[in-house]
Amino acid sequence: MNIWSNTSTLEDFSKNLLFTDDKSKAEIILMGSKPINLDDFPEVKGIFRAGVGRDNVPEDEAMAREIKVVFPSQETAQIIFEETANFTVSLILKMIYQDVGNLENWKKEKRLELSQKKLLILGLGNIGKLVKSKLQDSMKVMTFDLLTNKQSELEVLMRQADCLSIHIPNNKQNDSFIDSKKLNWMKDNAIIINTARGPIVSELCLLKEIRSNRLKAAFDVFWTEPYEGSLRDYHPDRFLMSPHVASTCQGFLAGCRKDLDVLIKELK
């Protein structure tokens, strides 16, 4: 079956797959994190989203057109959740220990031990819960979830946090959820980690804080990808960047290929 893709996720797992650049001939769409216009695909029968994010998938429209929409299986999704959580933890620790000393003059910076650092996890979905479980014995972990906490609680928590890790979905309600007001709540030299979606944080408001040297951040997701915006000028010291790779491990890729093969078989 002819497959049109807007992601390079499975390019090393593409053996025996038939790809086309012609949208009018595509029977299957292999989606990454970028949006699509279904009107461009008159022959499409199925969509496979190579990831667990749903914000860019036109599910309602596909259902109305009887187009089958498939996400990674539970087995594959668990690999995504676990590896994204692990990658998030690595960013948290990397940023906390970023400025510990100087080799040139053998200077050792004063620092608070990790056990006294406060981490705020925003969102207790699959990934947020895993980050909590991995760090709760090493740091003072606080949590805030939009479904269980009162909005008034967030300011108190953000003012305490040495590090904020974002794990809420990207939707209209959460667009620029972290805005100028919320960024102003954060203490000087606090760290923001984002492995969820770029638009959850206001790009311009974050740029202002990074440019003033007040906050630091590590992002794996961006407002447009590949990201070429102004925050790139502050990589890697105050705005550490990685190219949307949090879940991209061999197990995830092999699982997605297996799940895609199931869809192809069903549609033939």
Q: Please pick, among 11, 59, 75, 225, the residue that the annotation labels catalytic.
A: 225
The two three-digit tokens of residue 17, written as one number: 């797959």
> CA nearest 10: which of 25, 30, 26?
30
In single-letter form, the type of residue at position 228 comes to E
Would you call 235 a catalytic residue per the annotation? no
Rounded distance between C-alpha atoms, residue 131 and residue 232, angstroms = 26
Catalytic residue among 49, 167, 197, 238: 197
Active-site residue flag, 244 = yes
Contact status, residue 172 vs residue 200, Cβ threshold 8 Å:
no
Q: Are 218 and 94 in contact (CB under 8 A)?
A: yes
Q: Which two tokens stand for residue 165?
A: 């890790």
Active site residue 167: no
What Cα–Cα distance (Å) separates residue 246 from each residue in 80, 90, 127? 8, 10, 11
- Give the active site residues: 197, 225, 244
